[in-house]
Amino acid sequence: MQEGLRQIQHLHDRMARLLEAVLAISSELELNAALRTIVEVSADLVDARYGALGVLSEEGQFADLFTCGVSQEVYDAVGRMPTAHGLLAELVEHPRPLRVEDVQAHPSFREFPPGTR
């Protein structure tokens, strides 16, 4: 019985967080602000340490990148749009959400960008 109540409470909490996310996203009128909010609330909903949303050009290159959980110092150290190789190439080739417990253990991982370690 306790386990059943705990599961119901957990589901209720997740639904409340999802509703908050929908409200936060729908309150943004500007596209970049909405995309940034999507990254932040998505990472929060799945308890992720980091989140990223890449916008691709027609040529399949990153035109914009929205992140959360990455310090401004690290973001600035990268200094450019990422290229589609390694794990990012996996996301370009198979455009779907990807959650990775250990980035370095993923078969597509190649290296961290310079200045990010």
Q: Domains of the chain, with CATH numbers?
A: 1-47 (no CATH), 49-117 (3.30.450.40)
User: Residue 116 has what pLDDT?
Assistant: 55
**Looking only at Cα atoms, what is the longest distance across the chain?**
55
Mean pLDDT, all residues of the chain = 82
Contact 54, 65 (CB under 8 A): yes
Q: What is the share, in percent, of the chain residues with pLDDT greater than 90?
A: 4
Residue type, 104: Q
**Closest of 67, 57, 62 to residue 88, by C-alpha:** 62
pLDDT digits (tens, 9 = 90+) for 35-84: 999 999 889 888 888 888 888 888 888 888 888 888 888 777 766 667 77
pTM: 0.68
Residue 88 has pLDDT above 60, yes or no: yes
Non-local CB neighbours of 21 within 8 Å, separated by 6+ positions:
41, 42, 44, 45
Residue 115 has pLDDT above 60, yes or no: no
Tokens of 81: 């749009």
